[in-house]
Amino acid sequence: METGTGRPRLLGDRYRLVSVKERDGRGVIWRAHDLRLRRDVAIKEIRPRFHADGAGLDDARRRAMREARSAGRLSHPAVVAVHDLLEEGGRLWIVMELVEALTLEETVGHLGHLPVHWTAWIGFRLLGGLRHAHGAGVLHRDINPGNILLTGERVVLSDFGIAALNGDPSTSSTVPVHCAPAYVAPERLRGRPANPAADLWSFGASLYFAVEGRPPYPGAHALEVLGQAMTRDPDPPVKAGPLGRVLRGLLRRAPEERITADHAARLLSKILRMEGVSVDPPGSRPRGSLPTRSPCSAV
């Protein structure tokens, strides 16, 4: 049986596609049901935009599948779990944990901006997942406010491995066309390979957006933003308070001058303690929910 758009209703003889949950520049996210384990899941349908052909395309697809499987081995509360990966009907399908949440982008859209203590808490939790991934040799490549999910008790980074599926992974310097330039590290825009420091830039740019209420490079058009991102430092933050030190350290244009994830975690932990928010030691599994002081009170 097929959906009204010609897609299979039953995927891999196991996953029943129920409804479209979301559409974005990277593909379609379906709400689905796993008939074998009797649980609801999210499935991302991707039509890869590889720039190779023939044998090159086959090699690119193999590399993409291998990278996505590596992401599937990650296990951390701050990372959306990947359950399965399939290739069917000329498309790639990633079966993931279903997380009911608002994105950071949606939350800031509702509130205008987030207070320092809440932004620091989000950053501290996200860093736990990012450090776990980097320790396993997995890069994200597309951290931005639309990929950061807030459930009330969890802060979750989604779409690990999907950036590689949208571009040609045969060259690690490729920036997928859907990536927002304001959240891509300057060295990647200049064609240098992705690495943990580039992920940290994107992480810092997302925190900048959270606390300032706007991206580090404003502009109505992608080309305008791209021009700024290629040539100058981000605008200095004005609402970040003690977070300013963290943002400046993460958003240094030279990757070798950027602060490390460990350094950023220590700074965020210190800010949270100053704000009276208890945190787990860096590197431990996070527990507890969002800070009790509502972010709405600061908006």
Active-site residues, by number, are 142
Could you tell me the two tokens for 244?
């300013």
Cα separations in angstroms, 58 against 71, 98, 162, 222: 20, 30, 17, 31
Q: What are the residue ranges of helices labelled H in the chain?
A: 55-72, 104-111, 116-135, 162-166, 186-189, 196-212, 222-231, 243-250, 261-274
Instruction: Tell which residue, 161, 196, 195, 166, has the closest CA to residue 82.
Output: 161
Contact 162, 82 (CB under 8 A): no
HEC secondary structure over 79-106: ECCEEEEEEECCEEEEEEECCCCEEHHH
Kindly tell me the number of DSSP H helices and DSSP E strands found in the chain. 9, 9
Q: Bridge-partner residues for 157, per DSSP?
A: 79, 148
Measure the CA–CA gap between 242 and 117, rounded to whole angstroms. Answer: 10
Q: What is the DSSP letter of 252?
A: -
Angle, in degrees to the nearest 10, between helices 243-250 and 196-212: 140
Helix (H) or strand (E) holding 30: strand 27-34
Query: Residue 216: which residues within 8 A CB-CB, separation 6 or more?
Result: 182, 205, 208, 209, 234, 235, 251
Q: What is the DSSP letter of 2?
A: B
